[in-house]
Structure 1
Amino acid sequence: MQLYKFRSLDNFQFVLDIIVNKRLYAATFDAMNDPMEGFYTADDDIPDELIKSLQEHRKTLKFCSLSKYSNNPLMWAHYGSGSRGIVIGVEVKEEEDIREVIYGSHSHLMASNPSTLERAKNVLSFKAGFWQYEDEVRVFADKGNYISVKVTEIIFGERVDRTQKALLKKIVKATNPSIKLTEWNDEMLYVHSEPVFKV
């Protein structure tokens, strides 16, 4: 599955870690940008000990946030350092636990789902509706702090620093020349296939 990671170039070593080590860092939910992250409602007949276990899983589960699209201007502004950063295209193995985020409501837990771990992942797959522009996909880490990926593409932002771009291109060509290097152009400025034109 092809997905995208928006990155600033301010912490250059984090970008290099993705490219050279072919991995993405997975964080716990309390490091996410939504203050309502991890909220849920539950049926009354779910035992207290299961709720407690769910909360423990929720605190320790780690996942990586990616986007389905590389050309959303809001994502470039918020996570691509105002188009001064890059987007890294990656392929995630199909056997990974990949879930599209559901927007607009909280997870509601029902007693019919017996797995506490599955309930916790369900809770962490919901976000408030105002985050919908992110088109987020979450990949849950099976173990450890990283998720292995195949890096397929790097898209340079419109305002990326020339020196950083030149250096990154040299590093990519020396370490993994199969990665496609793409320059930003105005034709890429689309949101859900709806064109946006500059005046």
Structure 2
Amino acid sequence: MTEILYKYRSLDNFKNFVDIILKNRLYAAPYKDLNDPMEGQYYYQSGELNRSIRDKILAEKGTLRILSLSRVNNNQLMWSHYADGHKGIAVGVRIDEIKYDVQLIQYDGIATINESNYNSQTAKEILSHKLEVWGYEQEERVFQINQVFINVQIEEVIMGSRVSTQNNGLIRDLIDKINPSIRVLKAEDLFE
């Protein structure tokens, strides 16, 4: 099992949160649905990567599903960008590394690919590199082929500092009924 990793979430669609807690799973998206417009891009020298390899890479990227998680639970930008301006939550989970391929993101720019370094892992390699500007996310990615959900072990739920009183109560009641071993924390306690 991995160390605890965090998925920042809005509570706008509360049934998605219920699904996470009830079924111990998180959604894995196609790479084209991720928020970085450079996602899946790579460099290659003209003439060094033939069309058939480029087509294979595109097809391989198309079969991958990605769950993006963060190693940090107290980054103000993450709370602002991904947890609805602190009105959402961060779900702390562990991933079974025997069952799933978990990769640490490298913030060293877009990957460069050529025929000599093309292999069955090239699509994952491309999707494991991001621009430095995204470094604050401290991201790890779970890769899965054609599987929409990743099974997780939920350890904790952290409430954003601006979660409504109603949502706070609903979340605490839901966790107490479904899995009282999940720790419920408040984000403001992490920032002190």
The alignment's TM-score, normalised by the length of structure 2, stands at: 0.92
Q: Distance in 2 between matches of 1:57 and 1:94?
A: 21
Q: Where does residue 42 of structure 2 map in the other structure?
A: 40
Q: Distance in 1 between matches of 2:29 and 2:97?
A: 20
Partner of 2:166: 163
Partner amino acid for 1:104? D
1:107 to 104, 111, 136: 111
- Between Structure 1 and Structure 2, the one with more strand by share is 1
Counterparts of 1:48 and 1:184, CA distance in 2? 49
What is aligned with 2:25? 23
Tell me the distance in 2 between the aligned counterparts of 1:127 and 1:20: 33
The answer to whether residue 102 in structure 2 is matched with residue 98 in structure 1 is: yes
Match of 1:79 among 61, 79, 82: 82
DSSP 3-state at the match of 2:121 = helix
Contact persistence 1:104–1:130 (CA under 8 A): no
* CA deviation map 1:127-154 (0-9, x unaligned): 1221111111110014420111000100
- In the alignment of these two chains, the number of paired residues is 188
Identity among equivalent pairs (%):
38
Q: How far does the alpha carbon of each residue in 1:9-48 deviate from its partner, in whole angstroms, 9 at most, with x for none?
A: 1111111111111111111111111111111012544433
Could you tell me the TM-score, scaled by structure 1's length? 0.89
RMSD between aligned residues: 1.5
Asked if the contact 1:41/1:108 (under 8 Å) is kept, the reply is yes
CA deviation string 1:68-113 (max 9, x = no partner): 1000000001111111111100000012111111113111113333
Query: Paired residue for 1:13, among 12, 15, 18?
Result: 15
Name 1:192's counterpart in structure 2.
Answer: none
- Give the Å deviation of 1:65: 0.6
Secondary structure at 1:89 match in 2: strand
The answer to whether the Cα contact below 8 Å between 1:58 and 1:120 also exists between their aligned partners in 2 is yes
- Structure 1 segments of 4 or more deviating over 3 A? 43-47
- The aligned residue for residue 129 of structure 1 is 132
- Please report how far the alpha carbon of residue 184 of structure 1 lies from its aligned counterpart in structure 2 after TM superposition: 2.9
